[in-house]
Chains A and B, each alone.
Chain A
Amino acid sequence: MCRKTSEGPFDDREDTVSAPNRAIDLSGEQITLGPVGDRVTRIAGAIGVLGLVATALLGMQGGVEGQARAMNSYLVAFCFFLSIMLGALFFTLIQHVTRAGWSVVLRRFAEAIAANAPLMAVLALPILVPIALGRDLLYVWTSSEALAHDHLMAGKVGFLNPTFFLIRMVVYFGAWSLMGSWFFRKSVEQDTSGDPNLTVKMQSASAPGLFVFAITLTFASLDLLMSLEPNWFSTMFGVYFFAGSALAFFATLPIVSYFTQKAGRLVGLISREHYHDMGKFVFAFIVFWAYIAFSQYMLYWYANIPEETVWFLRRQTGQWESLSWLLLFGHFIVPFLALISRIPKRAKGTLIVGAFWMLLMHYADLYYVAMPHLSEGVIPLSLMDLTAMLGVGGFFVASVATRLRNRSLVPQRDPRLHESLAFENF
């Protein structure tokens, strides 16, 4: 519910775009990336190629161990961008299912990022091909030798086996690619046709879409991350990965908006009110992540059953302990306190700094989940962590920029665009 108030420090309406009947500039230059998109594609694409080549070369140097190390760096980077893509898909679906009005000017970003699903399927190949070829670089359950010695792991072979794993991956990436591409295509179609029935169609598809999304995301997180330590289990793990994914996307959204506006696009369309709302969602998912992480940790800590605590114990031994503390303070307590007031959420500068920080913490969180099985007590930081991030990230950004180069950056004929342009927080 919006109510107007007007009081000293919060009265910042003069530089927002909330005058009810002002003319909105929807000309081509304002709402397409144009040459900026080309430049971003070129630079990000080049970084992507260099990053992946560097990761591969660095991995080759260290023999089998080096390859395994490179694969782990790659997995973390891959899951980082996968989670942003999944967060974007979630955002698109949830805006339609709730018939949201406020978010229309931001939705195209989410649609374009969610349409990266086929790219992520291609980028998954370095993880999937070795498994298909019978190499056991990443997941211990792919090694027949390990299976022979581990009775507990052998019991899971009906689920954790290369064939079924690959089939599941095809299903996940197939479902995400279908949804991501479809929502992007329909939304772009509306830019030209202006047909409100497309909105009706997207709304009807969004509710079953959320079902498919929930199930595929859950099992993908179990497969890609939880099965790195196949004897450990948690019914919450899918929700934990979801919380991180949604947070990662909500942190990405203000950053993308900010740089788009810095390039002179969508000026006056994305207002301080939108940044405020994005900030609220960042804040909300910081708390939601903490709630899920706490519940998972506390219940295992309290019951103190060895096969459950082993996972956390490894993360509290040696250098890993400092990462655990970093997550507690850096992923929750500090940003919680920093974003609780409305002032930092409405000040673009602080919100962008906070959003970058949360992305860094999200990376730390994935590192905390995916790396400790490799090295007991030592955080195995490596140059490959950086190159893998640049590699996957370069392609990720280049692909989004290409997609948006000649297309409108807002769903310009969405029937609820006017709501998004007019709303105000009280």
Chain B
Amino acid sequence: MTTMTLAHLNDTSEDVTQRPPLVLGDNDFASITEKVCSAVEMTRTPKIWWVLFGISSSVMTMLLALIGYLFYTGVGVWGVNNPVGWGFAIVNFVFWVGIGHAGTLISAILYLFRQKWRTGINRFAEAMTIFAVICALVFPGIHVGRVWMVWFLFPIPDQQLWMWPNFRSPLLWDVFAVGTYFTVSLLFWYMGLLPDIATLRDRAKTKLRETVYGVFALGWRSSNRHWSRYERAYLILAALATPLVLSVHSVVSFDFAVSQLPGWHTTIFPPYFVAGAIFSGFAMVVFLAAIARKIYGLQEIITLRHLENMNKIILATGSMVGYAYGMEFFIAWYGGNPYESFAFASRAFGPYWWAYWIMVSCNVICPQLYWFKKIRTSVPAMMVIAFFVNVGMWFERFVITVTSLSADFLPSSWDMYWPTWVDVCTLIGSFGLFFTLFLLFIRWLPMVAMAEVKSIMPQAHAHGHSTGSAAGMAPSKPKIAEVVG
């Protein structure tokens, strides 16, 4: 790797006569195993990891302390009021669920579309999905005033208390939608990890490592029968996860859209929320991938082309979000409902105008820079844009939630909403939780799906066609000895 020049690492050419190799450099199966496993097996953890872990776990501790404070004192410590009964808690919930959309899209939908480049990035994108959903699930859990009643969220049949929850409430649909999504994503992720955990087990130098990885490898021996089952299960899980990618944020959007509140009640909400979720999820993946590939020297596996492809998806989904903003505005006028047109005018020019224009400039204008190849292949530029996209998507949820609630039909019931320091620090704390989990993941588990990456390398092709057939030929499975490495 040290002999590689920068030019070799740029694989973003537009040569249409042949597909670029998916893994760069002079890699074979053994070197892939070596590179990916070294991040997990290194005896001395890099200093930068400790620094980042120290920061994020401290921030996570702040989150825990604030949750304790909230439970002890009550939701009065937040800025929620009447009429804005939904404040940061729902904004953060929708934001984090949105972040959790890229992983399963990459592992399920891109798999069904035979997008082989996804193998380089799917593992940690999936991990990110799971951690983001965990962050999201914190908020519905803590936002109820009487936390000891939180089990009311779940549909526990209880004949005596007559306590079936209201199945007509979209908040209950959320429990099902997010719960299902989390379960399937976790299974998908874990199943994909099995061959790689087995590799770690077989390479383990200490008894403890061997035992722990051995338990989690579930007896994986890379036999032909294992692979056969594995591939069948992968396809089935991909098919099940694909509708879930769309359903989760659709159901989240129903929380708003089934109501009669101007600005919330509009039919484009489901696909618009899904597009926004994928948009923010990919921005987060790009941001983290750009850092991780540098620190762990994985530029030949997570290549510039991966990042460019994701930036194109960000451009596409960002524009879909812009389309939805435009349609909402147009129909607010076209529909002729004065409350609706007021809601939108007030978003753009009312007391929260600044939030609205942060949202528009970050979500709609900023990704348009990706029309320029120079920008979408420049790592610093994409990190800045990805950061702004996530800022913009957080503000989108803020704008939707707060502007509509704070000024509805009756001016006498209007009120402004301002977050308290507890609100703001809880939001920051949730990032601490996310990054703590993420850092633990890259320390203990392979962040690249080794077995899958090997399957798309030329060495895996049965007849040794090395170029020109990358997308056309069916790769055979890597040989057992090589997988174990």
Contacts and interface: CB of A to CB of B under 8 A. Distances in A.
Contact of A233 (B260, B334, B371): B334
B469 A203 contact: no
A131 B283 CA distance: 47
B222 interface: no
A292 interface: yes
B474 A4 contact: yes
Interface string B246-277: 10001000100111100001111111000000
Contact of A235 (B235, B266, B468, B474): B266
A390 B87 CA distance: 57
B336 to A, nearest CB: 5
Interface residues of B, number: 49
B331 A233 contact: yes
Contacts of A296: 267
Contact of A424 (B334, B336, B474, B476): B474
Contacts of A307: 335, 337
Given A1-B116, A236-B267, A302 B16 contact: no
Contacts of A39: none
B43 interface: no
A3 B471 contact: no
A155 B474 contact: no
A102 B471 CA distance: 9
A164 interface: no
Given A156-B336, A233-B331, A291-B246, A200 B16 contact: yes
B323 interface: yes
B63 interface: no
Contacts of B266: 235, 299
B334 A159 contact: yes
Contact of B267 (A196, A207, A295, A422): A295
Nearest to A419: B472
B328 interface: yes
A291 B267 contact: no
Interface range, A side: 35 or more
Nearest to A301: B258
Interface string B11-38: 0001011000000000000000000000
Contact of A234 (B119, B267, B456): B267
B327 interface: yes
A186 interface: no
Contacts of B401: none
B463 A299 contact: no
Given A3-B475, A99-B16, A419 B268 contact: no
Contact of A295 (B114, B270, B463, B474): B270
B260 A2 contact: no
B472 A101 contact: yes
A415 interface: yes
A196 B114 contact: no
B471 A101 contact: yes
B14 A295 contact: no
Nearest to A302: B258
Given A203-B14, A234-B331, A295-B267, A305 B471 contact: no
A325 interface: no
Given A1-B111, A299-B267, A422-B472, A218 B334 contact: no
A419 B324 CA distance: 36
Nearest to B476: A4
Given A99-B16, A156-B334, A156-B336, A235 B267 contact: yes
A415 B472 contact: no
B426 interface: no
Interface in B337-352: 337
B409 to A, nearest CB: 13
Contacts of B246: 291
Given A159-B334, A199-B16, A102 B114 contact: yes
Contacts of A295: 250, 267, 269-271
A1 B455 contact: yes
A30 B448 CA distance: 46
B473 interface: yes
Contacts of B475: 1-3
Contacts of B16: 99, 196, 199-200, 203, 415-416
Given A20-B463, A303-B260, A236 B471 contact: no
Could you tell me the dominant secondary structure of chain A's interface residues? Answer: helix
A141 to B, nearest CB: 12
A303 B265 contact: yes
Contacts of B17: 196, 415
Contacts, number: 118
Nearest to B326: A215
Interface string A291-330: 1100110111011010100000000000000000000000
Nearest to B338: A155
Contacts of B371: 207
A5 B324 CA distance: 43
A302 B231 CA distance: 41
A422 B463 CA distance: 13
Interface in A93-123: 99, 101-102
Contacts of B112: 280
A2 B14 contact: no
A423 interface: yes
A89 B119 CA distance: 31
A235 B328 contact: yes
B165 interface: no
A102 B331 CA distance: 39
Contacts of A420: 472
Contacts of A235: 266-268, 324, 327-328, 331
A280 B235 CA distance: 14
Interface string A1-18: 111110000000000000
B260 A422 contact: no
A352 B471 CA distance: 28
A383 interface: no
Contacts of A215: 323
Contact of A236 (B254, B268, B319): B268
Most buried by A among B116, B267, B323, B335: B267
A403 B203 CA distance: 63
A340 to B, nearest CB: 9
Contacts of B327: 218, 235, 238
Interface of A: 1-5, 20, 99, 101-102, 152, 155-156, 159, 196, 199-200, 203, 207, 211, 214-215, 218, 231, 233-239, 280, 287, 291-292, 295-296, 298-300, 302-303, 305, 307, 415-416, 418-424, 426
In the A-B complex, list the 5 residue pairs whose CB atoms are closest, starting with the nearest: A235-B268, A236-B267, A419-B472, A2-B474, A422-B472
28 contacts: A1-B111, A1-B455, A3-B455, A3-B475, A4-B474, A4-B476, A99-B16, A102-B114, A155-B336, A156-B334, A159-B334, A200-B16, A203-B14, A218-B327, A233-B334, A234-B331, A236-B267, A237-B267, A239-B268, A239-B271, A299-B258, A302-B258, A303-B259, A305-B265, A419-B469, A421-B472, A422-B473, A424-B474
Interface of B: 14, 16-17, 111-112, 114, 116, 119, 228, 231, 235, 243, 246, 250, 254, 257-260, 265-271, 319, 323-324, 327-328, 331, 334-337, 371, 455-456, 463, 468-469, 471-477
Given A1-B116, A307-B335, 20 more contacts: A2-B474, A2-B475, A3-B474, A3-B475, A99-B16, A156-B334, A159-B334, A196-B17, A211-B319, A214-B323, A235-B267, A236-B267, A237-B267, A239-B271, A280-B112, A296-B267, A298-B254, A418-B469, A420-B472, A423-B472
